[in-house]
Amino acid sequence: MVKIQAIIFDAGGVYLQGNFSDFVNKGYKVLGLNKTFSTKEEIVFDHDFNLGKVGAEDCFRRYFGVPITDMQMQEILKLWKSAWNLQPEMRDLVIRLKDNYVLAILSNSDAVNSYEYKRKGWFNSFNVLILSEEVGILKPDKKIFELTLERLGIPGESCVFIDDQEKNLIPARELGMKTVLYKNLEQLTSELEKIGVEL
């Protein structure tokens, strides 16, 4: 069995827990819209935002499609910054893993929340950060996975990639990575142990 050297985490939905539908519905309330939104899928709701081509305010105006006052925009930005959080149990797992493995984040992300997560120290345990808005590529494009391996300097066969969306695991497998489809923390630790990761 090839020895695992690196573990790569998706951010939102794996390392960080949150709910996109909850954010959208709270945004509707701020804007006085009588609408309800629901999805369990990962949402890249504005490719340009996640690629770093437009700012948050332009993104939210395009997404919600209605006039937004400055006060409403500040409320929506506040909601966005608090939409995902780091659970203590996940933080503890990552701290344990960093003693024996190179750790990376590979995420479809945005400049607003990436800044917040860095400011809060949530990425401090990771050796490599591959954030879509910084590299200009979105998962599941194979190029972002190739870039991750290049920056890690570790072959795919020695890496584990964890994501909550099956479509994002496909290019990782094509590059030889072991993969885990994240459902919950207990299932994740069980899957990692099966792969041979020391917890």
135-153 tens-digit pLDDT: 999 999 999 999 999 999 9
Q: Which residues of 36-73 are buried (b: 16+ CB within 10 A; e: fewer)?
A: eeeeeebbebbeebbbbebebeebbeeebeeebeeebb
pTM of the model: 0.95
Tens-digit pLDDT profile for residues 158-178: 999 999 999 999 999 999 999
The residue extents of the domains of the chain are 6-17+86-195, 20-81
Domain 6-17+86-195 matching CATH 3.40.50.1000: the answer reads yes
